[in-house]
Structure 1
């Protein structure tokens, strides 16, 4: 173990240089790249046209089959019919035309009658000389109409119109317009014109008109019926465009079987293999470049996070080393599971102890680093556990690894599980089962009962093995890096520890005082988010130095005279001050963690021994205040600051007569303010807000300890009867 510590010490010294820190992450990236290189390297396959496939080949990426897509588009184009549009304005035009013919005929009738009347007057009533014949009237009607109408309508129609009465013309006009309008508002395609004309004729054939006028109306109606549905090129093109756009691209999906072992590689399969990149996969560099960019982003972000950290340089280097070692260990184990899985043990990735890294980092560093390493391992898992398909990603195993680790972080965050890693592993196994089955159900795979049992076993093994490996590896990290974990603190809190037994047997008053201070400090530290367990255990040992002269400390003086009443103030000062440094020396000698020794040495800071200082002044001694102060150093952490406050508060409250909540609150506030004014918190990061929370927590705990008790009245003594 000393060999390991020596090498880690040398490594820490090297990492004090920024260059070696960057080099560490470059080495990490290179190692990870080598581990994942086989998982992204395109698989080399032997492919020959019109020969059986030597192995089952799956697509390593999703590509579009443009040839099949074009075929699908051409097929859908043949299914799009031409769009024929109904020209509604044709009906209106033809109705207007029919109306104009009849209106013109009526005009001719009116003009003829007018001319006839005028001629009678001029000729003295001789109408024979001026009356116009039907042929002349028909000619007049033709002049009012267009050449196109004259060409299409025979002479007999015009003669019938000019011969008819005006009232009959109006009736015929209405009937003809109605027939034309009814028929022309329906769709009439090129092959349906004759049928449409017959429908118009049928509407007029039973009209109550004389035969000549009726026949004329039928001819006009038939002549007005034309094709009103025509091919619409623009709309047809629009429909075809929409049809083409609705065709989804035909794709060869990642993981899709292109050819099975023993199947003949025909031209279509050969074309798909070529399209999927199996003909030139040795020439592609994109998988290697993608992996390089992926790892560069991850390790660059990790280094940047450490670089921006506000922790002391030594602690930052320790965090960097621990994080790197756990990451390498996890990636190595992940690769081993992947190799075994490729030998025929499918889905072995679910047996991987996914939460081990989270548990280790949570105990050794903090939750943020735990969450970060699980996010990274989740991403790595999608690549490493990609089965027999290089270049593929398996998001299901990545999600499983990441969320299993996050569940472990949440479990270990609960106070009940901080030091119960094995129990936490059992609970994690249950969560793993739920998580794994959730993933399987979402994937909606067709699994057998044996496969479900296989996955269930994997979830159990993953959770339990994570906790077992964490318990086994933690001592090596603690010893190698001098890290104080919750498990180590729990061991140190055991009353059978030699130093605690020493305090209990040699200074029982100090032991009782330490336990009381531990209760106060633990609650206060938890309230502000500091390490309550560290504060509690530190309190157990913080006055270990008093065991060298236990009777010279007031809590151990039982029914004896206080020796300090006979000692000079300077001597008493040296004895009292020495217990802090003596305690730190003893703790280092017994190889207790440095954090515990720091609490023993720093909990008094550089505070003033007021009693002996004022005693020296009363005796007329020429003394300086600095001579009666603890040598320090001042509190460096929140835990030490809280322990120092709790130590002073407990001693002060214990000496109070009939303490009340108001008295306790005033006393606690006074002690905290004195330390603030004395600049005892200048070297730690505790805030005024946190000090207010500490004050509230201390008052609540002290009120529970020194609560008021009912004073029972003294009962009168019973007189005993003495028998004679």
Structure 2
């Protein structure tokens, strides 16, 4: 049965979905070319320290071994520390000191003679010069004031000509004057504090004024010549060599099957830099073959996912547009990988890899989720520079999470999905961290990234799954539970317009649900399918016996083929109603398949007895035959319930015989040929039907009269 079903589904595949695969592969390879500019033009060596090389790498030409950035920085720092700073005796501090002295005396000379030191200090402060009143006592005598002015001016020039410095500890310094360097002892110059003492000692009569003046305006004039220092630094840096040693042509850089060392990694990095400096690019033919190879690789992976999706689909004919989300999943994950790896330059562990695979498992099935996760990791590997550990963490944690979800059956409990995904990530990260001997800080950082990844994944699942469940009309647990509500418009119509059919459907639902539980089918889908399988009878309820005991009179007035047409119309009318009310496709499939393609035997035999010209197809249900266990169970429960209700049931044996006869008839009519149900399943179904039917239809025992009186 299953082999025929597989062949049938393979036939519905057509070449249009392959176009999606090609376009998706082209988009992904195009993105790779865009983000990999400057990387794909040169040979790439992706070996890391400690990794075992699978190939032997030989130098194609002579090239220098570059020093690491840390080594270069240390050497430059050492060279710069050895450069003698060039000093010069600047004239600017002397000019500023003399200017300030002239301005102060200009203010003092403009003030009318007074004994009020406070007023003199206040006038100077308004001019921008701050002195204590005590420091201005000497200004009361104009001759002393002028004498100090001339002497102080002269002494400032003498001190500045000798040179004043501050905070120097060297024994000697380099004086660069008029492009002539001269090494001179530091003792040739005056420290600022010493210069202040000299000036103060020379003017005892104005000691406070000179002390406050030098504190504010005596600045060092032995200063670093910044321009010359830059020249000397640049000249010294040129002595630092960016490389050390050479790798000669045909020299073995890395040997096959050997562990790569830090020195060999540096040689490989130096070789790639040498390619860039010499502008040795891959030839156009090489680039074409590389791009073509990547395109073929991506296409094969994408085709595998699309083909499996088409083969396993339960739909009789798959719209080509339904393949679009499968391919969009690849593109979305590639874009997220590019954002993480090339734009944000962060850890690739934050990529919400599990989002696409888990969404695929929820929307399609567990097996598709597994395949989709493997295909996705293969597609994004080029964007991860074919790294090993991050893809292993992504893939293994996703597979573990999918296995837990299948076992726990929590496909729509999103908080639990997030928790299981986070636990899966933590287990894999900690195990690999221990294996790689990562530090605690590194492992904790990876755990933080895992938390972000799991949160992003569940957010994406919350957006993707409900949208496509609604778009694809999926029979989710929540949707099916809503359909069991007796306030649903269709069930309310059935209960009021076709009461007999309504009660019949409830019993069929009870039978099908128990049987589904017994053989491992979906009991919720079986019950919902049973409730809605005869929904089309609300269009003409009076022509069905369970709703109208006099329905025979209606059929006696029309031809048998017309009666058969009216009876079988309840299937097509039920499908139309279900689509109108947006009933999920699996329930519609049960409505469509619950009579299979059986002949409406009563009216067929009636036409035969009346000698009518017989066309079997005119008396046959439209089908198809049941394609799932749930549809097969509803078909069997439907017939068994109707037959049992129409007969007098005296014992369990009567019920068992009805079930056996029904199963035999359906097998003879080949109604189960396309359903994945076995003879073992049918035996279990029989045993689950009997107690339900016995409790409903078995004739009550007659009690003795005496017992009644009691």
Q: Using structure 1 for the length normalisation, give the TM-score.
A: 0.56
Is the 2:529–2:587 contact (alpha carbons within 8 Å) kept by the matching residues of 1? yes
1:63 to 1:358, Cα distance in 2 relative to 1, 3 A: closer
Q: Secondary structure at the match of 1:417?
A: coil
Task: Report the counterpart of residue 579 of structure 2 in structure 1.
Answer: 588
CA-CA distance at 1:354 after TM superposition: 2.1
Cα deviation 1:272-304 (Å, max 9, x = unaligned)? 367543210452477996675355234225436
Q: Secondary structure at the match of 1:355?
A: helix
1:39 to 1:536, Cα distance in 2 relative to 1, 3 A: farther
Q: How do 1:287-298 and structure 2 match up within 5 A?
A: 293-298=293-298
Task: For 2:321 and 2:683, locate their aligned partners in 1 and report how far apart those are by CA, in whole Å.
Answer: 35
Is the 1:382–1:396 contact (alpha carbons within 8 Å) kept by the matching residues of 2? no
Is the 2:649–2:655 contact (alpha carbons within 8 Å) kept by the matching residues of 1? no
Give the length in aligned residue pairs: 485
Q: Secondary structure at the match of 1:605?
A: coil
CA-CA distance at 1:515 after TM superposition: 3.7
Choose which of 423, 431, 442 in structure 1 pairs with 2:435.
Answer: 442
Choose which of 424, 445, 452 in structure 2 pairs with 1:431.
Answer: 424
Task: Report the counterpart of residue 61 of structure 1 in structure 2.
Answer: 47
CA-CA distance at 1:374 after TM superposition: 0.6
1:579 to 1:420, Cα distance in 2 relative to 1, 3 A: same
Task: For 1:699 and 1:339, locate their aligned partners in 2 and report how far apart those are by CA, in whole Å.
Answer: 62
Task: For 1:491 and 1:21, locate their aligned partners in 2 and report how far apart those are by CA, in whole Å.
Answer: 34
1:268 maps onto 2:244 in alignment: yes
Q: How do 1:138-287 and structure 2 match up within 5 A?
A: 259-261=68-70, 262-263=72-73, 265-268=241-244, 271=247, 272=267, 276-281=271-276, 283-284=281-282
Task: For 1:455 and 1:63, locate their aligned partners in 2 and report how far apart those are by CA, in whole Å.
Answer: 20
1:650 maps onto 2:641 in alignment: yes
CA-CA distance at 1:640 after TM superposition: 3.5
Is the 1:520–1:698 contact (alpha carbons within 8 Å) kept by the matching residues of 2? no
CA-CA distance at 1:692 after TM superposition: 1.2
Is the 1:37–1:288 contact (alpha carbons within 8 Å) kept by the matching residues of 2? no
Q: How do 1:257-406 and structure 2 match up within 5 A?
A: 259-261=68-70, 262-263=72-73, 265-268=241-244, 271=247, 272=267, 276-281=271-276, 283-284=281-282, 293-303=293-303, 314-315=317-318, 317=320, 320-342=323-345, 346-347=346-347, 349-385=348-384, 392-406=385-399
Task: Report the counterpart of residue 494 of structure 2 in structure 1.
Answer: 503
Is the 2:655–2:693 contact (alpha carbons within 8 Å) kept by the matching residues of 1? no
Choose which of 651, 660, 684 in structure 2 pairs with 1:669.
Answer: 660
Task: For 2:360 and 2:634, locate their aligned partners in 1 and report how far apart those are by CA, in whole Å.
Answer: 26
Task: For 2:272 and 2:576, locate their aligned partners in 1 and report how far apart those are by CA, in whole Å.
Answer: 70
1:445 to 1:453, Cα distance in 2 relative to 1, 3 A: closer
1:440 to 1:673, Cα distance in 2 relative to 1, 3 A: same
1:693 to 1:678, Cα distance in 2 relative to 1, 3 A: same
1:574 to 1:654, Cα distance in 2 relative to 1, 3 A: same
CA-CA distance at 1:542 after TM superposition: 1.2
CA-CA distance at 1:606 after TM superposition: 3.5
Cα deviation 1:466-502 (Å, max 9, x = unaligned)? 3332232234334555555555445444444322333
1:304 to 1:354, Cα distance in 2 relative to 1, 3 A: closer
Task: Report the counterpart of residue 699 of structure 1 in structure 2.
Answer: 686
Q: How do 1:536-555 and structure 2 match up within 5 A?
A: 536-550=527-541, 553-555=544-546
Task: For 1:428 and 1:601, locate their aligned partners in 2 and report how far apart those are by CA, in whole Å.
Answer: 39
1:653 to 1:336, Cα distance in 2 relative to 1, 3 A: farther
Task: For 2:648 and 2:66, locate their aligned partners in 1 and report how far apart those are by CA, in whole Å.
Answer: 86
1:16 to 1:693, Cα distance in 2 relative to 1, 3 A: closer
Task: Report the counterpart of residue 632 of structure 1 in structure 2.
Answer: 622
1:593 to 1:63, Cα distance in 2 relative to 1, 3 A: closer
Task: Report the counterpart of residue 222 of structure 2 in structure 1.
Answer: none
Is the 2:640–2:659 contact (alpha carbons within 8 Å) kept by the matching residues of 1? yes
Cα deviation 1:502-530 (Å, max 9, x = unaligned)? 32444454334334434544565677776
Task: For 1:717 and 1:596, locate their aligned partners in 2 and report how far apart those are by CA, in whole Å.
Answer: 48
Q: Tell me, which stretches of 5 or more residues in structure 1 are unaligned? A: 1-14, 46-57, 65-248, 386-391, 720-724
1:592 to 1:416, Cα distance in 2 relative to 1, 3 A: same
Cα deviation 1:589-614 (Å, max 9, x = unaligned)? 32434543343233213434444555
Task: Report the counterpart of residue 474 of structure 1 in structure 2.
Answer: 465
Greater Rg by CA: 1
Is the 1:378–1:398 contact (alpha carbons within 8 Å) kept by the matching residues of 2? yes
1:496 to 1:378, Cα distance in 2 relative to 1, 3 A: farther
Is the 2:474–2:585 contact (alpha carbons within 8 Å) kept by the matching residues of 1? no
CA-CA distance at 1:650 after TM superposition: 2.9
Task: For 1:335 and 1:260, locate their aligned partners in 2 and report how far apart those are by CA, in whole Å.
Answer: 27
Cα deviation 1:228-275 (Å, max 9, x = unaligned)? xxxxxxxxxxxxxxxxxxxxx9999xxx99612443655436753675
Q: Secondary structure at the match of 2:275?
A: coil
Task: For 2:612 and 2:494, locate their aligned partners in 1 and report how far apart those are by CA, in whole Å.
Answer: 37
Task: Report the counterpart of residue 217 of structure 2 in structure 1.
Answer: none
Task: For 1:655 and 1:313, locate their aligned partners in 2 and report how far apart those are by CA, in whole Å.
Answer: 35
Q: Secondary structure at the match of 1:632?
A: coil
Task: For 1:485 and 1:472, locate their aligned partners in 2 and report how far apart those are by CA, in whole Å.
Answer: 16
Q: Tell me, which stretches of 5 or more residues in structure 2 are unaligned? A: 1-11, 51-55, 60-64, 74-239, 248-266
Is the 1:354–1:401 contact (alpha carbons within 8 Å) kept by the matching residues of 2? yes
Task: Report the counterpart of residue 564 of structure 1 in structure 2.
Answer: 551
Task: For 2:372 and 2:389, locate their aligned partners in 1 and report how far apart those are by CA, in whole Å.
Answer: 18
Is the 1:350–1:462 contact (alpha carbons within 8 Å) kept by the matching residues of 2? yes
Q: Secondary structure at the match of 2:675?
A: coil
1:539 to 1:502, Cα distance in 2 relative to 1, 3 A: same
Choose which of 11, 23, 28 in structure 1 pairs with 2:24.
Answer: 28
Task: For 1:30 and 1:411, locate their aligned partners in 2 and report how far apart those are by CA, in whole Å.
Answer: 35
Cα deviation 1:128-169 (Å, max 9, x = unaligned)? xxxxxxxxxxxxxxxxxxxxxxxxxxxxxxxxxxxxxxxxxx
Is the 2:536–2:573 contact (alpha carbons within 8 Å) kept by the matching residues of 1? yes
Task: For 2:337 and 2:304, locate their aligned partners in 1 and report how far apart those are by CA, in whole Å.
Answer: 25
Task: Report the counterpart of residue 6 of structure 1 in structure 2.
Answer: none
1:333 to 1:629, Cα distance in 2 relative to 1, 3 A: same
1:667 to 1:16, Cα distance in 2 relative to 1, 3 A: closer
Q: Which moved more, 1:532-541 or 1:620-629?
A: 620-629
Cα deviation 1:608-662 (Å, max 9, x = unaligned)? 44445556778x6757484883441332623534432232123334445447655
Is the 2:600–2:621 contact (alpha carbons within 8 Å) kept by the matching residues of 1? no
Task: For 1:517 and 1:441, locate their aligned partners in 2 and report how far apart those are by CA, in whole Å.
Answer: 57
Task: Report the counterpart of residue 125 of structure 1 in structure 2.
Answer: none
CA-CA distance at 1:543 after TM superposition: 1.0
CA-CA distance at 1:711 after TM superposition: 6.8
Task: Report the counterpart of residue 147 of structure 1 in structure 2.
Answer: none
Task: For 1:258 and 1:495, locate their aligned partners in 2 and report how far apart those are by CA, in whole Å.
Answer: 78
